[in-house]
Structure 1
Amino acid sequence: MPVDDAFSRHDMAILYDSFNGDGPDREFYLRLAGSPCRILDLGCGTGSLTLALARRGHAVTGLDPAPGMLAVARAKDTDRIVEWVSGSAMGFTLDREFDLVIMTGHVFQVFLDDPEASAVLASAYKHLAPGGRLAFESRNPLVREWERWTEPLTRARADVPDLGPVEVYYRVQQVEAEHVTFDTVFTLIETGERRTSASTLRFPGRATIARLLDDAGFRTVDWYGDWKRSPLTPQSSEIIAIASR
């Protein structure tokens, strides 16, 4: 699975970090962790939530395949409280178990077919301690969020360190079955430079996710439709799964 430029390149990862601050999912995952425990953050990205969990006393490992993302994460970790690991969620092996494994920021959607998703879930299951939990979310395909990924609806601006004001917007290039291909377009206002990263995401439905979890060995799954733990319905914006080993 190739890593998008928006994640692999350090200059692009800085832009990503500036436009992806804390959202309503942050408190959900912080509360899910509960008392201090061992946590693995799969696809930890630039590490904002990873560090927040570590600062609450958890023993946290952050794993990501993108060197740009990990470079930004490590730069934030001035107290060296997180173990950062470079690796793919589809085939990693660590020498310990975890009480909680999380995949946030819709990371689950970057795995574009059943074999990729199954490899990730199997690796997570293998690294969970008895009674451990895997938690992640995926956008509900029934609400067709990608139809709102247009320039007028997604345009935003932020001040980026060392770059000044930057604008971003999204534009969809192709929708085919479960897959949506789109561009993230950054414009550096002071120079007019444009940096574009192409991405493809999978939008699996609940039934597909449930089957994949069952195939990986998870027998108990709690489902939610938003960050307030509302029941999952066809109108829910999110498919949130908490699977127990």
Structure 2
Amino acid sequence: MTDYDPRLVDVYDQDNPDGPDHDFYRGLAGEASARSVVDLGCGTGILTVTLASVERSVVGVDPSASMIGFARNRPGAAHVDWVVGDSRSIPGTGYDFAAMTGNVAQAIPGAAWPRTLRDLRLAMGNGGTLAFESRNPAVRAWDNWAFDDKRRDSLHGPLIERRTVSAPAPGVVELQTSTTFAATGECVDETQQLAFRDRNTITRDVRAAGFAVEATYGDWIRTPFTDHAPIMVFVCRAV
């Protein structure tokens, strides 16, 4: 992948703050009495560091060197093993809790998705918990994602952002975002493709990889999923 501009990584937490989603994953890890955790697609590590404790070892894995570089400088980072890579880079086996947060599952395209699930199953012990969320494609959240000339402040001065949204293939949404640093006029362009899989597809893929789906929620307070819920939160068991 083309890595993120480090200046944009600096505003990542502003766009993705700690909140009820992280509370859900922290609570789930506690209920599982997790002693070894892998946070796959950990980004800047805002959740990852809070999962670590004296009794619990945590590994944060992300393909972005810029994201991992930021995470390594976060308070509490010394208690986490940081790895630049994807599911094939997860060190060791026997994890009893694994998470993919921030809709990371949607950023894993095509054949990489079932491979990721298989890699996670190989890394986990029998009975381990895998949890992740994905947006419900029926809600079509992407219809509201395009914008022009959105302005905001950052550590690197004012930013002007624009985004266009398209659907180049069934189940795929492409975001093209341009960020201009107002002080210099420098522009950074990013293209991201997201996979929108429905509940049945994800359930089938999870089962094929060796997990049983124990629950599917439609929010962070564990309301059972309905067809109109904005997200699908999966809690799975390694079998």
Mark yes or no: TM-score above 0.5. Answer: yes
Indicate if the aligned counterparts of 1:12 and 1:68 stay in contact, CA closer than 8 A.
no
SS of residue in 1 equivalent to 2:127: strand
* Residue aligning to 2:74: 76
The reply to whether residue 181 of structure 1 matches residue 174 of structure 2 is: yes
> Which of 32, 47, 50 is residue 49 of structure 1 equivalent to?
47
1:93/1:44 CA distance change after superposition, 3 Å = closer
**Alpha-carbon deviations, 1:51-100, whole Å to 9, x = none?**
111158531100111111111111215651100012212x2352231110
Q: Corresponding residue for 1:122? A: 118
> Does the Cα contact within 8 Å between 2:213 and 2:234 map onto a contact in 1?
no
- CA drift of 1:195 comes to 1.6
Q: For 1:1-245, list aligned pairs within 5 A.
A: 3-6=1-4, 9-34=5-30, 35=33, 37-54=35-52, 58-77=56-75, 80-89=78-87, 91-113=88-110, 115-151=111-147, 155=150, 157-160=152-155, 163-245=156-238
Identity of matched residues, %: 35
Contact 1:41 1:101 in 2 (8 A): yes
Alpha-carbon deviations, 1:19-44, whole Å to 9, x = none? 32223211111111104521100011
Unaligned runs of 5+ in 2: none
- For residues 237 and 156 of structure 1, the distance between their equivalents in structure 2, rounded to whole angstroms, comes to 27
Distance 2:96 2:125 in 1: 6
8 Å CA contact 1:137–1:238 kept in 2: the answer is yes
Q: 1:75 to 1:67 in 2, by over 3 A?
A: same
**Compared CA separation, residues 73 and 64, structure 1 to 2 (3 A):** same
Opposite residue 46 of structure 2, the aligned amino acid is S
Gap change, CA 1:189 and 1:199, over 3 Å in 2: same
In structure 2, relative to structure 1, the CA distance for the partners of 1:32 and 1:224 (3 Å cut) is same
Matched residue SS, 1:80 = helix
What is the TM-score with the length of structure 1 in the denominator?
0.88
Q: Structure 1 unaligned segments of length 5 or more: list them.
A: none
- How many matched pairs? 236
**Residue 169 of structure 1: how far off its partner (Å):** 4.5
Contact 1:41 1:62 in 2 (8 A): yes
TM-score (norm 2): 0.90
